[in-house]
Chain A
């Protein structure tokens, strides 16, 4: 039996997007937390993500690349409908990407400008991504109500990235900055809880497809495992950060692991809500898929390359394990 290639590629694309959201999520989150830190702390924060941000953003290129390669018919529809938020996200990513370099290399007020643009770009990119997700879930339905829903999702995604960024800093920073990060993590968690609750309530109202998926007894009961597990993950973040604050024994990576778990669970819920649509209510993955000959050649390449990719990514994270220090970014 030959594998169902569109399903394989939907899974690959989903995995790439999830990897992107978690990986760039923490570095965008660190960017959004910049105004809450002193200048010296900001340098440590940037140093903690400096070696990784570039590879992290490559997952976005892979994700959108897979959409383009595997589902060419959907690619144009999705990106066309999201034209302006995509442009906003790209401008945000561009400004913050070069700000990594320029906030240290520029002189005088220019350096201040790029330091500010690093924050602003991170925020713009995160909010735009959340807005795009909100528009995507509703199948790009027109109207003010749907736009408000997308803004709600944008707020939730920003909160999620702040949570990831703060918990990343808990693991990578020391002393005063770590203590601050523990506080930020709890704020981020509260923000995410509120956002997830509001989006979960609004989603079934905003999309009949989603409603039908979730409110189909008796399956609903089994599905309640997902929100239940999310609550456990949230509690885990709260409890482990509390222990760390009281200087009790806890892994410094525990809050970050909990935050990642929340993202994975939210992603699973989203995947369940939308599969097999690639453009909600309009185009399934089978309708949008490229010719099998193209899918096969990409899959073969991906299977050969991905182990190496994972291998050297792990190697890079091992090289830079331990606490971040400001000087690191002075390459």
Chain B
């Protein structure tokens, strides 16, 4: 097997893992704050329905969190197994950022998660609310550090060379590098949308089976309203993020727009089949001068095309398509959230048609988030750290056979986990706040009465 193929396998394996991993943090980062809200509502009202709501969504959270933790552990190893050159070259910058994530976020969220999940009868209401806040803080902090690292890989800043080694000169510049604020807010909003559509979608699924479930109406309303506020904010932030990318990574923008040649008054390509061989678009449908207008706010402005960056340009088609998948999904989410919010305001309820639509869109946040990450990661190629380190130079020495065998193992495990996850979520949601209560609870064998069991 040639080096190119092995590199592709290494990238496929890492890409598979990181794509699988991001599904779960993109839910838990924001769902943790939903849980804080549900828990606080219960603390204030002492209404059993809020408690039941909190408990139901805690189950969803616990499962999602476990999926995120285990696939995250895989990532911490794959940095070394798949990309040893990454740490050799930029470990002095990347390492501390990862270490701070582990130290400040991972232990915090993991430890307080135990109390949040199992400690309700063992600690006071206040400490329990505090535990929920700590878990939410931990997940958000984790996002902060990992996006600082990813953004640094996109727009490196604050580093210098000392004795041939790349080291951090100014940590504030490293962390708050040019693309970090945009990427961080963009990802937090993406998580907010993913979680709110999941909350709304699973609540809708429940309401399709039991329209009188008051708790499910509460959570549907919470999900829809949050989505209706975040969706337009996300589009505005995404636009700013795009302009920031144009400034710092123009090759990525050229790929997004499928712009092969540098030109004045560049068209906005709505549809096309980008052709790497002829370096042009087949079957293009374009709005003349559209791209120049959108990106430069001037119909005759010059935009650089792929040719200006070759050979250090990303592949066009996957970036072009991922971007359109992201924007398309985002617009559909915006439309549904607004229609839903409008119906809920007017009538307090929505009909079966809209419930079906929300149920069908439960996981739409995943589609948009994955597509967005593919735009930004594939759009950075052939660089691993923009302008500093090439992906090919960071690859490890694992053989094709080793990669193939482990890739098969990961694929099987991920497939099994993903199917089980979605089946269990649908089952939990279908049963509403009653779900899980029917599970027989064993107690007599280990000392008889069990207060926790009765309370759970």
Chain A interfacial positions (CB closer than 8 Å to B): 38-41, 43-44, 50-52, 54-55, 57-58, 60-62, 64-70, 72-73, 75-80, 82-84, 86-88, 90-91, 93-95, 97-98, 100-102, 104-107, 110, 114, 173-177, 290-291, 293-294, 297-298, 301-302, 305-306, 309, 312-313, 316, 319-320, 323-331
Contacts and interface: CB of A to CB of B under 8 A. Distances in A.
A313 B107 contact: yes
Given A98-B66, A102-B63, A105-B63, A80 B167 contact: no
A51 B119 CA distance: 9
**Interface band, chain B:** 35 or more
B385 interface: no
B77 A323 contact: no
A90 B67 contact: no
Contacts of B410: 87, 91
Given A68-B80, A297-B171, A325 B103 contact: no
B442 A312 contact: no
A76 B88 contact: yes
Nearest to A42: B442
B436 A76 contact: no
Interface stretch (B25-33, B109-117, B359-367): B109-117
A94 B417 CA distance: 9
B253 interface: no
B59 A105 contact: yes
B443 interface: yes
B406 interface: yes
Contacts of A104: 436, 439
Contact of A80 (B74, B398, B417): B398
A330 B413 contact: no
B368 interface: no
B1 interface: no
Interface string B66-92: 110111111011011100110110011
Contact of A66 (B65, B73, B99, B107): B99
A122 to B, nearest CB: 13
Contact of A327 (B58, B91, B165, B454): B454
Interface of B: 55, 58-59, 62-63, 65-67, 69-74, 76-77, 79-81, 84-85, 87-88, 91-93, 95-96, 98-100, 102-104, 106-108, 110-115, 117-120, 122-123, 162, 165, 167-168, 171, 396-398, 402, 405-406, 409-410, 413, 416-417, 420-421, 423-424, 427-428, 436, 439, 441-447, 450, 452-456
Contacts of B441: 43, 326-327, 330
A127 to B, nearest CB: 15
A301 B123 contact: no
A80 B98 CA distance: 20
11 contacts: A67-B80, A68-B91, A101-B66, A290-B91, A309-B107, A313-B111, A316-B111, A320-B122, A327-B453, A329-B118, A331-B59
Given A66-B99, A320-B119, 6 more contacts: A40-B446, A44-B445, A65-B98, A65-B102, A83-B402, A331-B456
A83 B81 contact: yes
A298 B424 contact: no
Contact of A51 (B87, B114, B405): B114
B71 A94 contact: yes
B110 A312 contact: no
Which of B74, B79, B103 counts the most A-chain CB atoms under 10 A from its CB? B103
B107 A330 contact: no
B77 A79 contact: yes
Contacts of A94: 70-71, 73-74, 413, 417
B282 to A, nearest CB: 41
A90 B80 contact: no
B128 to A, nearest CB: 10
A110 to B, nearest CB: 7
A210 B143 CA distance: 43
B51 to A, nearest CB: 12
Nearest to A330: B456
A110 B420 contact: yes
Nearest to B64: A101
Contacts of A65: 76, 98-99, 102
A98 B5 CA distance: 33
Contacts, number: 277
Given A174-B446, A309-B103, A87 B118 contact: no
Contacts of B398: 80, 83
Contacts of B81: 79-80, 82-83, 86-87
Contacts of B122: 319-320
Contacts of A87: 81, 405-406, 409-410
A210 to B, nearest CB: 25
B110 A55 contact: yes
A331 B98 contact: no
Which of A41, A80, A177, A306 counts the most B-chain CB atoms under 10 A from its CB? A80
Given A68-B76, A101-B62, A325 B114 contact: no
Contacts of A309: 103, 107-108, 111
Q: Which 10 A-B pairs have the closest CB atoms?
A: A327-B453, A76-B84, A79-B80, A72-B91, A51-B114, A69-B95, A40-B442, A87-B406, A330-B456, A97-B70
Contact of B80 (A75, A93, A100, A328): A75
Contacts of A316: 111-112, 114-115
Contacts of A64: 76-77, 80
B442 A44 contact: yes
Contact of B423 (A72, A90, A110): A110
A169 B411 CA distance: 35
Contact of A325 (B84, B123, B450): B450
A76 B85 contact: yes
Contacts of B88: 72-73, 76
Which of B102, B168, B453 counts the most A-chain CB atoms under 10 A from its CB? B102
Given A44-B442, A68-B79, A79-B80, A330 B85 contact: no
Nearest to B90: A72
A84 B123 CA distance: 43
Contacts of A55: 107, 110-111, 114
A50 B117 CA distance: 9
A76 B94 CA distance: 14
Contact of B118 (A44, A174, A331): A331
A308 to B, nearest CB: 8
Contact of A293 (B98, B167, B413): B167
A84 B59 CA distance: 33
Which of B85, B167, B398, B453 counts the most A-chain CB atoms under 10 A from its CB? B453
Contacts of A110: 420, 423
A176 B409 CA distance: 39
Contacts of A77: 84
A72 B81 CA distance: 12
Nearest to A294: B92
Contacts of A82: 81
A60 B102 CA distance: 10
A77 B424 CA distance: 40
A209 to B, nearest CB: 23
Given A75-B80, A90-B73, A90-B74, A54 B113 contact: yes
